[in-house]
């Protein structure tokens, strides 16, 4: 059997983008994605799709990219190389809902290849509720564990811990949300072929729509007022801090001359930073803040 090619991977990723956009539009019922096709001066391009002012999604993006060309010097240095070309393709998603009871969600699946033959897959899904609901958290992690267990019994434990460590706002000493799974630099070894890893990454991508449309339908009907919106703005502020200060994907996109508008589509339409805000003790806001810790077993 011939090995899966970068063209095969990009084609599957394009189809996953199409599937997710269709399901989000169906569930939102009002919002429609606007497509913005772009080309990268150094090679390749992508399809940025943005949805705004929907019934449920206030702002979101479902982006596909397929870029290639001369590898930036900073990345070559990190590999200990002096020359070479690169190819990278992926789907990246961030959705910011209108209703504070609906969580923010992020997903990314990606493939990177060097002309030297080096390649790897990466990705993951994580959930950032403005208010943490333990039943919702359990449902989310159960769905992710089912995807992982289909491919390897060790994946969920390993990649959940990786997500806890990665989606951590060091300067706040808090996690960005309730985590999820995160993995990077996956390539073939004695136990897994390239096709095996690609099958796992594809299933992660296909799990996104049923997971998030569940939360859209379930939580968007809950009432909210100014207090909940103010808290949502504060939590969005934390999201912005992580993405601009710590996120490696944002840095990689900017360093490889990616399209700035597509890279920064992850930012919410509005966010807030109240000086030294302290929630009322034992309030839903305080309880959420106290739960933003690493190592929580959400399946217990």
* Contact by Cβ (8 Å): 207, 142: no
How far apart are alpha carbons 216 and 95 in whole angstroms?
11
Q: Which pLDDT does position 262 carry in this prediction?
A: 79
Looking at residue 81, its pLDDT comes to 67
Rounded mean pLDDT, 133-138:
97
Beta carbons of 19 and 209 less than 8 angstroms apart: yes
Question: What's the total number of domains in the chain?
Answer: 1
- Is residue 300 situated within a structural domain? no
106 is catalytic: yes
* 50/61 Cα distance (integer angstroms): 4
CATH code of the domain in which 190 resides: 3.40.1500.10
Question: Does residue 250 carry a pLDDT above 80?
Answer: yes
In a domain, 14, yes or no: yes
Mean pLDDT of the chain: 94
Tens digits of residue pLDDT in 143-173: 999 999 999 999 999 999 999 999 999 999 9
- Residue 148 domain-assigned? yes
Contact 115, 75 (CB under 8 A): no
**Residue reference for tokens 């290849």:** 113
What are the phi and psi torsion angles at 35 (to 5°)?
-95, 135
Mind listing the pLDDT tens digit for each residue in 21-58? 999 999 999 999 999 999 988 899 999 999 999 999 99
Domain limits at 142?
A: 6-290
- Whether 175 is in a domain gets the answer yes
* Domain-embedded: residue 130: yes
- Exactly one of 19, 96, 106, 171 is catalytic; name it: 106
Q: Is residue 42 part of a domain?
A: yes
Residue 199 pLDDT more than 70? yes
**Is residue 295 assigned to a domain?**
no
**CB of 218 closer than 8 Å to CB of 29:** no
pLDDT reported for residue 59? 97
Spatial CB neighbours of 189, under 8 Å, sequence gap ≥ 6? none
User: What are 61-120's pLDDT values in tens digits?
Assistant: 999 999 999 887 777 777 666 778 999 999 999 999 999 999 999 999 999 999 888 899
Q: Is residue 297 in some structural domain?
A: no
Maximal C-alpha separation, the chain: 61
Structure tokens at 177: 């949300």
229: left (phi over 0), alpha (psi -120 to 50) or beta: alpha
């Amino acid at each position: 059997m011939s090995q899966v090619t970068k063209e095969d991977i990009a084609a599957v990723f394009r189809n996953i983008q199409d599937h997710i956009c269709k399901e989000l539009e169906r569930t939102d019922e009002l919002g429609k994605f606007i497509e913005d096709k772009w080309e990268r001066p150094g090679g390749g391009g992508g399809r940025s799709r943005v949805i705004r002012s929907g019934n449920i999604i206030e702002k979101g993006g479902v982006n596909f990219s397929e870029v290639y060309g001369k590898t930036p010097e900073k990345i070559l240095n990190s590999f200990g190389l002096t020359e070479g070309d690169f190819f990278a393709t992926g789907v990246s998603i961030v959705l910011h809902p209108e209703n504070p009871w609906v969580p923010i969600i992020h997903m990314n699946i990606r493939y990177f290849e060097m002309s030297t033959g080096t390649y790897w897959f990466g990705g993951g899904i994580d959930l950032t509720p403005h208010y943490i609901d333990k039943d919702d958290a359990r449902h989310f992690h159960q769905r992710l564990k089912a995807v992982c267990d289909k491919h390897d019994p060790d994946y969920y434990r390993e990649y959940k811990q990786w997500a806890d460590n990665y989606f951590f706002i060091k300067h706040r000493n808090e996690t960005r949300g309730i985590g999820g799974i995160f993995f990077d630099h996956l390539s073939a070894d004695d136990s897994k072929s390239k096709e095996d890893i690609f099958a796992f990454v594809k299933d992660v991508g296909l799990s996104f729509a049923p997971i998030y449309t569940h939360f859209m339908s379930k939580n968007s009907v809950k009432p909210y007022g100014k207090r909940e919106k103010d808290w949502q703005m504060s939590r969005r502020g934390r999201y912005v801090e992580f993405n601009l200060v710590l996120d490696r994907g944002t840095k990689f996109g900017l360093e490889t001359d990616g399209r700035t508008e597509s890279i920064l589509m992850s930012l919410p339409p509005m966010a807030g930073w109240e000086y030294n805000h302290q929630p009322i003790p034992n309030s839903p806001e305080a309880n959420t803040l106290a739960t933003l810790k690493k190592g929580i077993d959400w399946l217990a």
